[in-house]
Structure 1
């Protein structure tokens, strides 16, 4: 019996009905994993690309079988798929019987070189009426190779889960549990591409805590860290479903606002500004701290680069302007642009 601890293991069989009928019952009638049968090369390739199986059985006598093995070997992103080639071609079986083990080794090596991970010989036996032939094979060998394939699939799934965990750790800020700057560098270009493809708006907010150094100098860095955590919790609880916050560095944060216009971004920023300034942060029964934040907003423009550097720059300039103007306020790029234009008009 095959013991399969992996979840969602799938087998794609590239073969005809007479081939399927000879497979062990543990494969044909299993509920442990899914089995799909295809006998067309183009359909098989399309299926593998769309939904890659974990294991592939290939009937060598079927048109396109060796091409499928060779193609699969060239797909570096699919290298984890375990391909088992079942040799049922009459000429190869005849040569094997005629020339012995040396010829068998040569043909096995050639098949493995073409892309198969395992090579199983099928025998042709005549029925009693000497008119029909049926395919037979060592079921124990088939099940043994299947077990190898299942182990490989399990290891691949474990590797994917491990990589997902490591990626999540690498893209998360350990103090605030928000996405970090590295995550923003990945996420922002994707958001820009989506916005331009779907012709929707995209805005962002850059904010930081006013006079945060004074908090650290007065109360210590542990209190400062706790203030950052409480601020992030308050922001997260008051963001919309399409808003994604990031810790940009130190006491500075970025919030991506999907499907949000410049005016809507300004409204979101003003609301967050009030939520922070209107209610002090209670760190303990004896310590309550009042903090404020300054915010800059900007909306994606046609001339912005695909990586989002110019968009971030405009928002950052607005944040600097908000701090220069007295802190605890919001400046957006339209306001900043109109002021620059007005100053240029006055000076001229």
Structure 2
């Protein structure tokens, strides 16, 4: 079975449970002598299931702490009590079991088992009773592993759905929804680290003419090829998004105004200098226009004002002849000359 289990307890508990678990299931089993020793193992290895000795100090607290951490809360915690004997009166033993189970479950454990080691008279438990205990232990472990498996499958499904929701199906780039999520995060990082941040907003020139002359399938193919050329000519730290239609946005981390202009002009040249081979009988010469903007202290945390400045500069580039870049520096110079 492809699963991992961590046993936490004293020497007697570990020696007893380790053999029993190995005999019941073919799993990878790690051990820790106390909750403090277990914490770094849990953080690093994230086992599927944890079995803790109930009467060890800190066991229930560890269960609670695991459940309070989103990245660990899926780990299944079984608290096991191994009293030396059952109580003299069966009804007292039953009440004790109910009270202990209630405390364990309310305290953060997913399951509680009480597995006495011997009879009231001090004699060993019969093989039949031990076999029933092992059946119960195995069943509880399997319940935990099924729960963890279902959680992981759900997380994988959510990851796939999130990837689909944040991806543009035509170009396979991040889409506008992804930009709405990523830009505020990068703005916060830039301000926390006192770094610069810039945007490039670009647009395929006369794209409507391509659709009108050759049809939408050719337009779609042109967008795919433009996207690919842009993606393969960006720096490692740059993030490209399809903003909508024939518009794209690039987040340039740790990039100031002058560097943003250089990046955008280089991309402009790379798009315009070589025709795009749409199919064996059609080549298109395509150019782009771009506007850049750099984060300043007055920009809002979501990046709306930063995007607006980049868009405004893109419109200036298009109105001044297309196939060119206008940045914040250029826009300021234009305003001064006016």
Q: What TM-score, normalized to structure 2? A: 0.86
Alignment CA distance shift 1:36-1:200 (3 Å): farther
Q: Distance in 1 between matches of 2:52 and 2:191?
A: 44
Look up the match of 1:200.
195
Separation in 2 of the partners of 1:311 and 1:95?
Answer: 75
Of residues 65, 68, 77 in structure 1, which corresponds to 2:59? 65
- Aligned counterparts, 1:1-348, within 5 A: 4-5=1-2, 9-25=3-19, 27=21, 32-40=27-35, 52-72=46-66, 78-89=72-83, 93-94=86-87, 97=90, 99=92, 101=94, 104-105=97-98, 107-125=100-118, 138-343=133-338
CA distance in 1, matches of 2:20, 2:256: 58
Contact 2:84 2:116 in 1 (8 A): no
Task: Give 1:110 shift.
Answer: 4.7
Deviates more, 1:136-145 or 1:312-321: 136-145
Between the aligned partners of 1:12 and 1:75, the Cα distance in structure 2 is: 18
Preserved CA contact (<8 Å) 2:83 2:116: no
Pairwise CA RMSD? 3.1
Partner SS, residue 291 of structure 2: strand
Give the deviation of 1:184 after TM superposition: 0.8
Provide the C-alpha distance between the structure 1 equivalents of 2:89 and 2:59, rounded to a whole number of angstroms: 19
Unaligned runs of 5+ in 1: 131-135, 344-348
TM-aligned CA deviation for residue 296 of structure 1:
0.3
- Structure 1 residue 335: Cα displacement: 1.2
Contact 1:201–1:258 under 8 Å retained in 2 = yes
Q: Is the 8 A contact 1:95 1:103 kept in 2?
A: no
Cα deviation for residue 303 of structure 1 reads 2.3
Question: How far did 1:155 drift?
Answer: 1.7
Q: Is the 8 A contact 1:188 1:307 kept in 2?
A: yes
**How many angstroms does 1:313 deviate by?**
1.1
Taking the aligned partners of 1:71 and 1:96, their CA distance within structure 2 comes to: 35
Q: In the alignment, is the contact (CA less than 8 A) between 2:97 and 2:114 conserved in 1?
A: no
The answer (yes or no) to whether the contact 1:24–1:139 under 8 Å persists in 2 is no
How far 1:321 moved relative to its partner? 0.5
Contact 1:203 1:297 in 2 (8 A): yes
Q: Deviations over 1:110-152 (max 9, x none)?
A: 54344332221121438x9x8xxxxx96333222222222222
Q: For the structure 1 residues 39 and 103, does the alpha-carbon distance in structure 2 shift closer, same or farther, using more than 3 Å as the test? A: closer
| 3-state SS of paired residue (2:281) | coil
Aligned residue in 2 for 1:346: none
The TM-score, its normalising length taken from structure 1, stands at 0.84
Distance in 2, matches of 1:241 and 1:150, equals 40
